[in-house]
Structure 1
């Protein structure tokens, strides 16, 4: 779970892993510096990664909880949705039927090994990001271990 200023959430460079190879050392200084910054910051920054599975390389401290069963994880999602719903900027996002459908689909998706990610605008200019990431192993990043193992 992440909440914060929408402007910070929009800093996509810190939400994606750095390219596997750095720019040439004799290249543009600003590109070399930005690469170094992203390489150092991406693994530890609390911003939600653009690809949900990359939560698995984040520090353990950013993990809110773990569950053995998809329904338990979906229940946590439901609790967060209910808690934040009054702050959702969109009235339609507050609809209890819609929220229940999100929880049900999360349990189903986790059950077959998929990840779940949802984002909601809160009072301006805030944003809420919620993610549930499977790691036994993860389908998108099977080589990455669970952060709590």
Structure 2
């Protein structure tokens, strides 16, 4: 098991373009940079969209925390980063995907995703890139 990281930040109104977020023939899904509707669907995207690959849940969690803190410098008072890190590392170690996302302004969305590969929820999906 290893972990692939993905991210997207932009005008949150673009998230309404659901046809680009679902793997339907002719939808533009494969080449879209918008986050898919389901986490495992990231594995259907080109490997060029992968922002990092890690062997351990701890490494993947650190990437999530660092990227999230860059987008949210003051953090979230309702869920401190150390608590979020601890729960995410345990979640990833169990083979479950993790998403850290939020609105960073009235219209801007920031999302960071770590997807487990191979993926238990989507066992038929091929890995887009080998582990390092």
TM-score normalised by structure 2 residue count: 0.85
Question: Which residue pairs with 1:56 in the alignment?
Answer: 43
Choose between structure 1 and 2: higher helix proportion. Answer: 1
Describe the superposition over 1:112-134 as per-residue Cα deviations: whole angstroms up to 9, x where unpaired.
10001132101231100111000
CA RMSD after TM alignment: 1.8
Q: Which of the pair has the greater relative contact order for Cα pairs under 8 Å at 6+ separation? A: 2
Contact 2:64 2:100 in 1 (8 A): no
2: CA distance between counterparts of 1:140 and 1:54? Answer: 10
1: CA distance between counterparts of 2:91 and 2:127? Answer: 18
Choose between structure 1 and 2: higher strand proportion. Answer: 2
CA pair 71-96 structure 1, distance change in 2 beyond 3 A:
farther
Could you say which structure has the larger radius of gyration?
Answer: 1
The residue matched to 1:133 in structure 2 has which SS?
strand
Does residue 1:129 correspond to 2:111, yes or no? yes
Q: Point out where structure 2 has 5 or more consecutive residues left out of the alignment.
A: 1-6
2: CA distance between counterparts of 1:82 and 1:69? Answer: 20
Question: Which residue pairs with 1:11 in the alignment?
Answer: 17
2: CA distance between counterparts of 1:55 and 1:114? Answer: 14
TM-score normalised by structure 1 residue count: 0.76
Question: Which residue pairs with 2:65 in the alignment?
Answer: 78
